Amino acid sequence: MIKLLNVSKTYQPDIKALNQVTLHIKPGEFVSIVGQSGTGKTTVIKALIGEERVSSGKVIIGGWDVTRIKPGDVPFLRRQIGVIFQDFKLLPKKNLEENIAFALQVCGQAPKKIKTIVPHVMKIVGLEDKMRRYPNEVSGGEQQRAAIARALVHRPKILLADEPTGNLDSLNTKDIIDLLLKINKFGTTVVLVTHNREVVNRLKRRVITLDRGCLISDQECGKYIL
């Protein structure tokens, strides 16, 4: 499903964000990528979605060689990959339903299909009763749920979550992680990037640890070791 083969990424003048990283994430896995700030976690996410070109090595997702992908093919790749971030990136002048629908509209999806998909994904994340609310009218946890719903509209095979609980309190953090586990049970591969030790240790799932751009640990049922 996801392969990084001897991947390195160097930023000018001579900053190594990733250094000869090799890993394989199988379909349906729930994997945490952990490490201190500046260890290359977010660079991995950017490499997977084609936002950053790696300096050397290969990045492969399914049948895509992302290191050689043409710019025109990047949008098609990203429809197979849902991405959520620490900042929710919701449009403040659109309600939650409109925010989620917008992700389909920009891809030219038919209005009839949008009316079917949006209520479905909002029900998955538990927001079916808040469709008409605006981002400033709901909690941070609910905004993140809306962002997750938006990431699910294309039924992605992979969900990348880059510090999705970074702006949330402990209660909302638990709710979001439980939601990611629920999505994983549907068969979606989930890659969670986080520095939250408590979250990682509670999951008891595979943990990949990066330090100074190097992969230093890969545990099948791991803990946050740094």
Predicted pLDDT of residue 186: 92
Predicted pLDDT of residue 70: 87
Distance between CA atoms of residues 8 and 96, nearest Å: 38
Predicted pLDDT of residue 114: 96
CA max distance for the chain: 51
Predicted pLDDT of residue 77: 85
Q: What is the pLDDT of residues 151-183, one digit of tens each?
A: 999 999 999 999 999 889 999 999 999 999 999
The CATH number of the domain covering residues in 28-45+70-80+156-226: 3.40.50.300
CATH 3.40.50.300 domain residues, the chain = 28-45+70-80+156-226
> Which ranges of the chain have pLDDT less than 50?
none
Q: In this structure, what are the phi and psi dihedrals at residue 18, rounded to the nearest 5 degrees?
A: -135, 140
Predicted pLDDT of residue 200: 94
Distance between CA atoms of residues 214 and 152, nearest Å: 31
